[in-house]
Amino acid sequence: MKKLLGIVVLSLLLSVNVFANHFSYKVPEVKVKEFDRWMGKLKRKDGKWFFKSPKKFKKLDIDKSEIPTDIQKILDNSSITSLLYYEKDKVIYDYTRMQWGDFKTKTKITDKTLFNGRSKSKSISSLIFGLAQCEGLVDPNKTYGHYLPEIKNSFYAKIKIKDSMNMMARDNKIGEGNYMETVPFPDGVTSFIKRRPKTNEPLGDNKFYYSNLQPDLATAVVVKQLGGKSKFKKFVEKNLNERAQLKYKTLVFGHKGYPGFANWFWATRYDWLRIGIFVSDEIQKKESCLGNYLRDAITNSVETGRDWGPKYGKFFYTETPYGLKNKSIMMRGHGYKLLVIDYENNKILEIHSIAADYKPKNLIPLIMQ
């Protein structure tokens, strides 16, 4: 009888498109099915762009402490599958979870498991663009039409890259349509845009408008300037994976010549943490070109109207994420997947969660303040 009731409840939840939104999953079986659904995407045989990592990786000092009761209580009542906290050059907290009630994930979480960052991937596209800018390959003051002739008749041909990376493409009136359902499969970003409103479409409101097309367009420019997929992969391996001293391969899904960095970058939990450390270190280096790029993102960020992330620049939330008082920036993805980087004190919090069923504004200060 209990099993039958569970099936009925699950069916009702699925009938309201539970997987499509930032949903607070209360049914354990639904939590597990959502996790397994996304991990199952790694079984695709096509469209995987792997980036090798160097033999010499950043070794992290592990000095785990017992998680305090008030923090543990939040974790116990959440869909958080992985949490890492780094402070004073050491990993202090290391938490994983694979079971809710009687239901256990099909994928075993280990230090080799690749985690999809969802919209955290947007910030990875920013790092790649910044690294290419430092090589003199791209100019954010140019338009997309300058670099991508295949979209010359598109609305986006006239948009400057620097505005796009602040989510100021002024495309709020045309919207992104079904972008999330078709890119990277069966479309790539440029083939999708060819069907979009044309260049004579009027600009929308001059304000922040969150759009999934922007990071894929920015990364497409880098791919084009480097000369295609093969050279792009080598560039990312040398300039991101090697410099951040990642331990394992990373992955992005791509199609029709371009990657999908809006939602489709994958890395292991500890390599996500290493990326956070890399960002923090670069911001603090006065002579670093990438550091200058990131500091400019912070200085010239725009208002979002979102209290949990009031400013945004170059695909990062750049000020007081979830009320954190220290100088911090954040990568944020669907389901409250977070990489919070306190570059003032070199504190990094990496969270992978299935769903938005915990309150970051309660958890983050408990750990990082």
In the chain, the domains with their CATH numbers are 115-368 (3.40.710.10)
**How confident is residue 11, by pLDDT bands cut at 50, 70 and 90?**
very low
pLDDT digits (tens, 9 = 90+) for 109-128: 999 999 999 999 999 999 99
In this prediction, residues 72-87 reach a mean pLDDT of 96
Answer whether 63's CB lies under 8 Å from 91's CB: yes
The whole-number pLDDT of residue 323 equals 87
Half-sphere exposure at residue 112, Cβ-oriented, CA atoms within 13 angstroms: 1
For 262, other C-beta atoms within 10 Å of its C-beta total 26
Q: Is residue 1 predicted with pLDDT exceeding 70?
A: no
Please spell the DSSP secondary structure of 78-127, one letter per residue: S-EEEEEEEETTEEEEEEE--EETTEE-SSPP-TT-EEE-TTHHHHHHHH
The secondary element (H helix, E strand) that includes residue 333 is strand 328-333
Distance CA 168, CA 150 (A): 22
Question: What percentage of the chain reaches a pLDDT higher than 90?
Answer: 87
pLDDT digits (tens, 9 = 90+) for 292-334: 999 999 999 999 999 999 999 999 999 989 989 899 999 999 9
In this prediction, residues 274-282 reach a mean pLDDT of 98
Answer whether 307's CB lies under 8 Å from 213's CB: no
Helix residue spans in the chain (DSSP H): 2-15, 28-39, 69-76, 120-134, 144-147, 161-164, 179-182, 189-193, 213-226, 229-236, 269-284, 289-299, 360-368
Kindly report whether the peptide bond that precedes residue 184 is cis, defined as omega within 30 degrees of 0: yes
Decide which of 25 and 203 is more confident: 203
Closest Cα to residue 360, out of 342, 341, 337?
337
pTM of the model: 0.93
**How confident is residue 10, by pLDDT bands cut at 50, 70 and 90?**
very low
Q: Is residue 22 predicted with pLDDT exceeding 80?
A: no
- Contacts (Cβ under 8 Å, ≥6 apart) of 91: 60, 61, 62, 63, 64, 84, 85, 273
Q: Is the dihedral of CA 268, 270, 273, 275 positive or negative?
A: negative
The secondary element (H helix, E strand) that includes residue 350 is strand 347-353
